[in-house]
Amino acid sequence: MSTSIHLDPWQVAASLTLVALAAAISFWQKADLERDIAVATVRSFVQLTAIGYAIKLIFEADTLWLVFGLLAVMVVFGALTARSRAKKVPDAFWPLLIALALAGGTTLGLVVALGVFEPTARYLVPVGGMVIGNAMTASAVALNRLGDEMADSRAKIEATLALGATAQEAAAPFVRRALRSGMITLVDSTKTTGLIFFPGTMVGMLLAGANPTDAVRLQLILLYALLGSVAIAGLIATALAYRNFFTSAQQLREP
């Protein structure tokens, strides 16, 4: 069995038929998404082509500095993207940046230290991208929820502060719920994986002609690594971000 697959540009172009179908459905049903579909299609093409060339260069150079550089760029863009979904959290960028950096660093560090993957560009770039991407989604969901909870529960939080509770104690129930909502999607999809959907890595390996047993093992490793990384990212993002709602005198800031 071959472990690599070659695709011509015309095959990619042919798949645009499905994009046209999506745009047609949107137009027909007045879903008003045609413009977004066009933007998404162009952006995915440009971004993936660019990252494809970047990865090609990094694989050929095979120096870890370039790998770390690329992962650092992903962390920064991930934090910026997640911040736009956590508008109700004041100064959400730094908690998100630290959360993504630590989630990525810890997860990759552990899989390398445990000997699961070799510390080479070929493993670190794709695994790092998945880890940081999932950590970004989880921490964005967690902080979005945290912002809503803190806004809806101001009276309750202030009543708890009025008893002499610290900001941490007053925010604890809301931080807990935010962390849970950040993690729950991946936990649920991990539960149903193989039954309701086939995860991307496994699909990719099967399409590329890999042995199904290898495809399953790699997918399991990635799922478990992702569980760890979303937990770390959600924990750190919420644990740092809730502080921004309070002053140093344990007062709730004005919204």
Partner 1 sequence: MLFELSKVSLTRGDRRVLDAVSAAIPVGVTAIVGPSGAGKSTLLRLLNRLVDPDAGTIAYRGRPLDECEPLALRREVSLVPQLPALLEGTVESNLAYAAGLAAKGLDAERCLRLAGLAVDFTARDVAELSVGEQQRVMLARALAQGPAVLLLDEPTSALDNVARDAIEATLAQLRRELDISIVLVSHDPEQARRLGDWVVRLEGGRAIEAGPIEEVMA
Instruction: Confirm if 78 and 138 have CB atoms less than 8 A apart.
Output: no
**Nearer of residues 15 and 168 to partner 1, judged by Cβ:** 168
**Nearer of residues 3 and 247 to partner 1, judged by Cβ:** 247
In whole angstroms, give the CA distance from residue 251 to residue 195: 48
Contacts of 152 (CB under 8 A, 6+ apart): none
**Nearer of residues 114 and 162 to partner 1, judged by Cβ:** 162
**Nearer of residues 99 and 252 to partner 1, judged by Cβ:** 252
**Nearer of residues 101 and 149 to partner 1, judged by Cβ:** 149
State the minimum distance, in angstroms, from the CB of residue 162 to partner 1: 4
In the numeric block, the tokens 């230290």 are attached to 113
State the minimum distance, in angstroms, from the CB of residue 45 to partner 1: 46
In whole angstroms, give the CA distance from residue 32 to residue 82: 25
Separation in Å, CA 69 to CA 63, 94, 125 = 10, 19, 10
State the minimum distance, in angstroms, from the CB of residue 150 to partner 1: 14
State the minimum distance, in angstroms, from the CB of residue 169 to partner 1: 8
- Residues at the interface with partner 1 (CB under 8 A): 155-156, 158-166, 169, 173, 249-252, 254
136-151 burial code (b ≥16 CB/10 A, e <16):
bbbbbbbbbbbbbbbe
State the minimum distance, in angstroms, from the CB of residue 89 to partner 1: 20
In whole angstroms, give the CA distance from residue 203 to residue 197: 10
